[in-house]
């Protein structure tokens, strides 16, 4: 059995493990919320540590906290940011909707660690989690601020770089595959020819637009709620506190955060978080389309479409020897499905802005950060292990084009839609190609036939005309 100690808060005495840096309020939260094994990710704890560090610096500059106490809090908060104290942040995600339990978890850990730091320096100074670490703050403005800081920072550090890499690789494949003509498909049926490079240009554009939407949504995260304290009025905080702390956060993250234009909106609503979640869902939808198309185009190797050659990364079956599956695409598809589900939770959370405070912030930020992290990791692996080594089967692409009945589309301006449709039907019924049927009927000269049924010509704008 671990040794115990007693900690006290306004509700009385609580028993805490002797080596734990948290205190009574954290202990109550652990006791009250034994719901799941879900905890806030490193990115969110970093954001809270950063807020507490910059708050201590600011309160010292404003003469509101004694220098030695502020210095100890700053050092302790630095350790929180580095991840050195992560084992002490153990409050469940499913807690009070304001995130007060986690804010106090951080306040208690920083306060107790700061006391240890001072003790090692031969000082014995009382440091209070509320009176010192949380000075000028409330959970109601700290947690919304940490949400925005953590999400914006993770987008910059992880997801946007991963998407940038994927977009560049897709552009490379666009250029590499640009001379390869394949059959297009609409409604899962043969359509007119398209260059494989054109297909990948569409993929690349999807990723470009997904990034643009994320960056647009990210702008809403740049306004921080800090300074509003309990309900947005700023009670118990210095007028210069928020702007100074936010400047420090901006410098530390290299992201231009600003104080909220309206603190009542910033704390009562979480519309910016709902918007970034929607942009993440939109990104997932785009990535799903890309991954799904690529795995279908690589189906086979002999009885599928087989126009793409997917890199083999692992055996595909425990019973069928030699089988290789599109596992990298399947992995990303599952990531995208999770992100779509996460967005539903975030949307419901956004509906819970009751009066002056949203009360589903912990689950909202958990799901958004999970979406960012999953997409960043999923895209990185997909790019490296599938897109980069991806190859095309040019011979297969050519074969399928020649067999397609959609080749008759180019004939319609020359011989009429109805006549072209009849040729397509005859080709289907007899098992011949469009070229063979037209040649047999002697409708066009050889020169005309070669010109009109040239698949590459069909991948450009233009109307075929009879050559005279």
User: What is the mean predicted confidence (pLDDT) over 144-159?
Assistant: 98
φ, ψ (nearest 5 deg) of residue 461:
-65, 145
What confidence category does residue 466 fall into, taking pLDDT thresholds of 50, 70 and 90? low
What confidence category does residue 81 fall into, taking pLDDT thresholds of 50, 70 and 90? very high
pLDDT at 143: 98
Distances (CA, A) of 50 to 96, 170, 376: 22, 37, 23
Could you tell me the residue ranges of all domains in the chain? 4-135, 141-395, 404-459
Cβ neighbors of 451 (< 8 A, separation 6 or more) are 457, 464, 467
Is 296 a catalytic site residue? no
Please tell me which residue in 317, 331, 352, 404 is annotated as part of the active site: 317
- The CATH number of 141-395, from 3.40.50.1440, 1.10.260.40, 3.40.605.10, 1.20.200.10, is 1.20.200.10
User: What is the mean predicted confidence (pLDDT) over 25-47?
Assistant: 98
**pLDDT above 90: percentage of residues in the chain:** 93
pLDDT at 66: 97
User: What is the mean predicted confidence (pLDDT) over 216-234?
Assistant: 98
To 5 degrees, how large is the angle CA 94–CA 96–CA 101?
95
SS3 195: strand
CATH number of 4-135: 1.10.275.10
Is 317 a catalytic site residue? yes
pLDDT at 1: 61
Q: Is the sign of the CA dihedral 10, 11, 15, 19 positive or negative? A: negative
Condensed to tens digits (0 to 9), the pLDDT of residues 245-301 reads 999 999 999 999 999 999 999 999 999 999 999 999 999 999 999 999 999 999 999
User: What is the mean predicted confidence (pLDDT) over 74-101?
Assistant: 98
Angle between helices 67-82 and 100-120 (to 10 degrees): 120
Statement: residue 463 has pLDDT above 90: no
Statement: residue 464 has pLDDT above 80: no
User: What is the mean predicted confidence (pLDDT) over 348-361?
Assistant: 96
pTM of the entire structure?
A: 0.96
Q: Are strands 258-259 and 357-358 parallel, antiparallel or unpaired?
A: unpaired
Task: Give residue for tokens 């939808």.
Answer: 285
Please tell me which residue in 187, 296, 331, 377 is annotated as part of the active site: 187
Distance separating alpha carbons of residues 5 and 12, to the nearest angstrom: 14
183 with 191: CB under 8 angstroms? yes
- The CATH number of 404-459, from 1.10.40.30, 3.50.50.60, 3.30.420.40, 3.30.70.580, is 1.10.40.30
């Amino acid at each position: 059995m671990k040794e115990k100690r007693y900690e006290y808060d306004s509700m009385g005495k609580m028993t805490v493990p002797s080596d734990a840096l948290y205190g009574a309020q954290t202990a109550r939260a652990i006791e009250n919320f034994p719901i799941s094994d879900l905890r806030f990710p490193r990115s969110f704890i970093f954001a809270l540590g950063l807020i507490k560090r910059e708050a201590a610096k600011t309160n010292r500059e404003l003469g509101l906290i004694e220098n030695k106490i502020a210095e100890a809090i700053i050092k302790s908060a630095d350790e929180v940011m580095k991840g050195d104290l992560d084992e002490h942040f153990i409050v469940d995600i499913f807690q009070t909707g304001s995130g007060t339990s986690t804010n106090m978890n951080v306040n208690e850990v920083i306060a107790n660690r700061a006391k240890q730091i001072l003790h090692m320096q031969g000082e014995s100074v009382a440091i209070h989690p509320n009176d010192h670490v949380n000075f000028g703050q409330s959970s109601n403005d700290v947690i919304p601020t940490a949400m925005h800081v953590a999400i914006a920072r993770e987008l910059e550090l992880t997801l946007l770089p991963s998407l940038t890499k994927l977009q560049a690789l897709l552009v490379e494949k666009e250029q590499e595959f640009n001379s390869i003509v394949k059959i297009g498909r609409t409604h899962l049926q043969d359509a007119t020819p398209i260059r494989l490079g054109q297909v990948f240009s569409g993929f690349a554009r999807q990723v470009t637009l997904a990034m643009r939407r994320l960056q647009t949504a990210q702008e809403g995260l740049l306004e921080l709620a800090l300074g509003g304290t309990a309900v947005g009025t700023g009670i118990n905080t210095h007028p210069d506190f928020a702007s100074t702390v936010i400047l420090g956060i901006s410098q530390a993250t290299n992201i231009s955060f600003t104080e909220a234009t309206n603190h009542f909106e910033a704390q009562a609503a979480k519309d910016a978080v709902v918007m970034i979640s929607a942009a993440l869902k939109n990104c997932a939808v785009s990535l799903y389309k890309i991954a799904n198309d690529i795995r279908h185009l690589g189906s086979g190797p002999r009885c599928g479409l087989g126009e793409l050659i997917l890199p083999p990364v692992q055996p595909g079956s425990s019973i069928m020897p030699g089988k290789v599956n599109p596992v990298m695409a399947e992995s990303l598809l599952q990531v995208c499905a999770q992100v779509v589900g996460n967005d539903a939770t975030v949307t419901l959370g956004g509906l819970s802005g009751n009066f002056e405070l949203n009360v589903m912030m912990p689950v909202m930020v958990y799901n958004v950060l999970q979406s960012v992290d999953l997409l960043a990791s999923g895209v990185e692996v997909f790019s490296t292990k599938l897109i980069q080594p991806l190859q095309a089967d040019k011979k297969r692409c050519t074969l399928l084009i020649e067999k397609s009945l959609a080749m008759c589309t180019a004939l319609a301006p020359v011989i009429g839609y109805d006549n072209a449709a009849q040729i397509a039907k005859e080709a289907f019924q007899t098992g011949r190609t469009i070229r063979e049927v037209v040649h047999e009927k002697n409708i066009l000269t050889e020169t005309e036939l070669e010109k009109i049924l040239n698949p590459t010509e069909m991948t450009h704008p233009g109307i075929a005309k009879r050559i005279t």
